[in-house]
A and B are shown apart, each in its own frame.
Chain A
Amino acid sequence: MRCGRAEKLIDRYVDGRLPEEMAREVALHESSCARCAARIGAARGLTGALAEEPILRAPNGFVDRVMDSVYREALTSARQAAGSEERNSALHRIYRRLGLSVMLSAAVLTASLIVPRAFYPLPTAAVAAGFSRDRPSLVKDALGGAGRAVSETLRSIGGGEK
């Protein structure tokens, strides 16, 4: 094995991650090459120094502290969900009332457009046809006209009013 090849394998060799056969080759090279042996020694030294770092532990009471915040979070979420539901319900009530109001307004508007037409001023064409402007309503005109027509008819057939 050449030094260049060995150098690339040193870390995996030190970590024990090389296939057995390849590890044997590196070991053989290590025993015959002082330069690579020094490199491997340095790699082992570094790995050892890094591995000496202590394992850190969470302080006592950490679980309780975390769970306090988790429960607060759960409570806040539940309140928000309840608030949201309440808001939705209130909105629903508002929309329902609004809908009813709109429907009622539409009904009133429709009625006000259709029913009072009888009380509107007469159109010019109607006046020209014999209806009078000073008569207060179409219905009244119609009723008056109908009365007159009935009287004339009765007169023409020899009966009715004298």
Chain B
Amino acid sequence: MGKEIFALVGFWEIILSIFMQWQAYTISNIKTFSVQSWILGIFLLWAGVFHGFIALIILALLTIITRAIAMPLYLGNTIRKQIYRARENKHRISTGLSILISLLLAVFGYLVYYLILAGHGQSLVSIPITLMLQGAFLIVSRSNAYSQLIGYLVMENSMFLLSFLFSELPFIVEAGIILDVLGVVVVAGLLMRVRDEDIEKEEELLG
């Protein structure tokens, strides 16, 4: 039963990250990320209540408060002060191709599991690997700073799923993940203000 619920949650997260490739506005990406974190938080809460681990319940509540509510609100507020050009989500490769590559990464994640990790875990391990690859691809395929940050946060979400499967990482490191992500988002919020997107031609950054 736990296995099926994990598969349900995991695959909806993968579908949501494919949606993130589809969307045209940055604010939709942030909302989709918020939905993804809600699903993750509620799943962790259910797992904690079901198995009776207090640490997991606290972690789930922390996840919901920081990643599903606070961070998207903060990022949304920062976007509204940006110039209009930054609100659109420019793709480096076309939308259709990026959805297709995201999809192929799902197949590739399963392949990675099958070839490398087959002896060590259940087949559900391929879900967090796929989500991590899709988060990385979200960073690669966009030049907008907010989308790159959301891609990084999706990778951290996949870390939660992975540690749930391998299920024994001490609580302090997971709390460390949350605090570090908080720190990164705050810093990124400060740095994102005047970032120009045609930076490729700058001489000081070439070579």
Q: Do A and B come from the same complex?
A: no
| Residues of chain A whose beta carbon lies under 8 Å from any beta carbon of chain B | none
